[in-house]
Structure 1
Amino acid sequence: MGLVHEFIISNDVRSDYDYDKLSKSKLKVEFSDDIFLALFDYFEWIKVKKTENQSDYGLNYYGISEIKGSELHKLENLLNELFRLYSLAPDDFYIKTGLDLEKNDFIETHFL
């Protein structure tokens, strides 16, 4: 199994957070790196706090992204619309998720 990204909804995110406790949350979503990369550009529309002193756009690939207020509402709307979009796809489809520079061709990821 490849890399899996976890998204946990919590109102208790601090620099000394307890990952083991948070990871057992019922408000957790996991999805593959392929899906994360396919949606990565959309996540760049969301303003997040990545560290105590750094705000930026886009989800943190390797760490915590704190999303608050209207940005959380925007993320919810974005995910709902993406769900609606992907619900139109056939049961078996491909998405271009990268570029193979050696082959000078797109990398296509298969989704079932």
Structure 2
Amino acid sequence: MPSNTTNFLQMVNFLKQRPNTAYYFNTSLHAKFIVVDDTIIISTGNLTETQFIYRHVASMNLVNMPDTTYEGTHSEMNAYYLSRNNPKLADELVTYFEVLTQCPLTHRAF
């Protein structure tokens, strides 16, 4: 379970209500992409609502360094690739996804 359990559970509940939607996870993999028809989004960042945060942080406690705090700009901006009307790439990513779902460390959550 991710550290931000509230947002994660909201995302899971949202996805469960959508037809033709499945959620898989693999703790050894860090791939992030979405394919809808012939539109593709590939991301370096987590696909969450906090992804576009850019703000001043007065005192941020670091989980792995409890005696350390941070003050400054907090940003979760990452790179995104968007391609529309690209059936070839969409098909390749669907095939890649299907291969990933068969990996021994991949689990289907729903």
TM superposition score category, shorter chain reference:
0.3 to 0.5
- TM-score of the superposed pair, with normalisation by structure 1: 0.33
Q: Which has the higher contact order (CA 8 A, sep 6+)?
A: 2
- TM-score of the superposed pair, with normalisation by structure 2: 0.33
Between structure 1 and structure 2, the one with the greater Rg is 2
